[in-house]
Amino acid sequence: MQQYIEFIGNNALLATAWAVLFVWLAYSVISSMLSPVKEVDTQSATMLLNRSDAVMLDIRGPAEFKKGHIMGAKTLTPEQVNKADFKSLEKFKSKPIIVVCAMGMSAKRTASQLLKAGFSEVSVLKGGMNTWSSEGLPVKK
């Protein structure tokens, strides 16, 4: 124990950085566990699409969407996402919705907005289109 205290005293900056990273990691894990928005992997997403008639919602820009998207995916422009304009999705309120972005990061915000707007079952594709494509799953161009 004495060695740890001595190390922290001699390397305050390094110890502080480690502590900040630890707190950030703990916060990240706990917040994702408590979040109403759940991440689904590609296998679970495929099962939702096939068995539960889920809606795949692609929130990437129009140019990226045209380069390749998941078959049957609906799209929202970044402007619609920023304004939380989900009028075009009203008929899907009771269906499961899987939000897809490029890497799975920005989709969480949109999924939270959808839940606040009254959509019942919203999840995010873990890893986004990058993971979908890298696993060799079908993409429509």
Average pLDDT over every residue of 118-127: 92
Tell me the pLDDT band of 91, cut-offs 50, 70 and 90: very high
Task: Give pLDDT tens digits for 64-84.
Answer: 999 999 999 999 988 898 888
pLDDT of residue 95: 92
Alpha-carbon distance values, 7 to 10, 12, 14, 22, 57 (Å): 5, 8, 9, 17, 50
